[in-house]
Homo-oligomer: A and B are copies of this chain.
Amino acid sequence: MTLALGLHGGCGTLERSLMSEEAWAQSRAHMGAALKAGWAILAGGGRAVEAVEAVVVALEDSPHFNAGYGAALNENGRHELDASIMDGATLEAGAVCATTRIRNPIRAARKVMESGRAVLLTGAAADDFAAAAGLDIVAPDYFTTQRRVEALAKLRERGRLGTIVAASEAEKHGTVGAVARDGAGNLAAATSTGGFNNKPRGRVGDSPIVGAGTYARNGVCAVSCTGQGEIFIRRVAAYDCAARIMYGGQTLAAASDELVQKILASHDIGAGMIALGAEGDPRAPFNTIGMFRGWIGAARRIVVGAHEDLHDLGPA
Mark A residues whose CB is within 8 Å of B: 86, 91-93, 97-98, 117-126, 128-129, 200-205, 209-212, 215, 229-230, 233-236, 239-240, 243-244, 246-248
Contact = CB atoms under 8 A, between A and B. Distances in A.
Contacts of A248: 246-248
A81 to B, nearest CB: 12
A202 B126 contact: yes
Contacts of A235: 91
Contact of A211 (B121, B203, B211): B211
A197 to B, nearest CB: 14
A120 B236 contact: no
A128 B202 CA distance: 10
Given A117-B200, A123-B122, A126-B202, A210 B234 contact: yes
Contacts of A202: 121-126, 128-129
Query: How many of these chains are in the complex?
Result: 2
15 contacts: A118-B203, A119-B229, A120-B204, A122-B202, A209-B211, A210-B212, A210-B234, A210-B236, A211-B211, A211-B236, A236-B236, A239-B239, A243-B246, A247-B247, A248-B248
A105 to B, nearest CB: 14
Contacts of A91: 234-235
Contact of A239 (B93, B97, B118, B211): B211
Contacts of A117: 200, 203
A198 to B, nearest CB: 11
A117 B74 CA distance: 13
Contact of A122 (B97, B229, B233, B239): B97
A95 B212 CA distance: 14
A169 B210 CA distance: 25
Smallest CB-CB A-B distances: 8 pairs: A125-B202, A247-B248, A243-B243, A211-B236, A247-B247, A236-B239, A120-B204, A125-B201
A239 B236 CA distance: 7
B120 A233 contact: yes
A1 to B, nearest CB: 27
Contacts of A98: 122-123, 125
A97 B123 CA distance: 10
A300 to B, nearest CB: 32
A243 B263 CA distance: 15
Contacts of A247: 243-244, 246-248
